[in-house]
Amino acid sequence: MALFSKKDKYIRINPNRSAIEAPQPKPEVPDELFSQCPGCKHTIYQKDLGSERLCPKCGYTFRISAVERLQLTIDPGSFIELFTGIETKDPLKFPNYKKKLATVRELTGLDEAVLTGTAKIGGHKVALGIMDSNFIMASMGSVVGEKITRLFELATEEKLPVVLFTASGGARMQEGIVSLMQMAKISAAVQRHSKAGLFYLTVLTDPTTGGVTASFAMEGDIIIAESQALVGFAGRRVIESTVREQLPDNFQKAEFLQEHGFVDVIVQRSDMRSTIADLLAFHGGK
């Protein structure tokens, strides 16, 4: 008798075995289908935000482009764009600045961080400016300053009210002191418009900060803000490290500014068009 039995040549398979399914790849969900609300942290289906881009859970106001805001605000077909084709001379020859501008222009379809022209809102003709944070965070450079200045000059000449939606991360660092000069330049044009007895309405949107806040954003005859918009000059951490104090949680939010007299009224995006139209009518809009 052999000490060791011979191994079978083949592996025996149980005919009654249960099949094992190969793992299937998980279905991929495109990123653009859902967004997380910064307010309530819920995951929101994009279509549920609607054209006004409002969270259906908490009413949080999402950022929108200048073109989207234009469509929500004006009378259909009334917008005439002005002051296009103005380009920066890149005074500092800042590395890759012109390349960055070209890329952002292609992505946004805008030539700069502010859309300017004339339009009608509730039948009232206005000089209209809308800043777009998708364009280098709507930073204020020489072209932004020139377009807004020309808008006020046109409004003064044609005796039109100005409606300006602000959004900005501040001065455009790639243009240095030329960028900072736009604060005084625009403010001078605002003053000439005011001396002519004309109405200027600003709408502060998220975020409105830096040199824009320190100049024309806060110079309106009436200052409206969107709910929960961030409005300020320096950043929260910079201020806290300077004053060495803990700031309130809602510091630099539109509601906090209204409470302390810096904002006249907070208007929901769904009511913005009708509110602006009423204010234009009250102030003698054409």
Residue 7 corresponds to which tokens in the numbers above?
């191994």
Question: Considering the chain, what percentage of its residues have pLDDT values greater than 70?
Answer: 88
At 207, which CATH number?
Answer: 3.90.226.10
Q: pTM higher than 0.75, yes or no?
A: yes
Flag whether 109 is in a domain. yes
34 & 158 share domain: no
Walk across the sheet containing 80-81 and list its strands: 80-81, 114-121, 124-131, 162-168, 200-208, 222-225, 265-266
Residue ending a domain, choose from 19, 42, 62: 62
Please, are residues 222 and 280 in contact by the beta-carbon 8 Å criterion? no
Flag whether 25 is in a domain. no
Flag whether 228 is in a domain. yes
The pLDDT tens digits for 241-282 are 898 988 888 889 999 999 999 999 999 999 999 999 999 999
120 & 257 share domain: yes
102 sits in which H/E element: helix 97-108
Residue ending a domain, choose from 20, 38, 62: 62
Of 11 and 252, the structure prediction assigns the larger pLDDT to: 252
Q: How confident is the model at residue 4 (pLDDT cuts 50, 70, 90)?
A: low
56 & 182 share domain: no
The pLDDT tens digits for 81-105 are 999 999 998 999 999 999 999 999 9
Give Cα separations from 200 to 67, 71, 84, 152, 164 (angstroms): 21, 21, 22, 9, 8
Is pLDDT at 3 greater than 60 in this prediction? no
Number of structural domains, the chain? Answer: 2
- Cα angle: 70, vertex 190, 152; to 5 degrees: 50
The pLDDT tens digits for 200-254 are 999 999 999 999 999 999 999 999 999 999 999 988 888 988 989 888 888 899 9
- Cα angle: 138, vertex 140, 142; to 5 degrees: 130
State which residues form the domain around 36: 30-62
116 & 147 share domain: yes
177 & 86 share domain: yes
Give the pLDDT of residue 281: 96
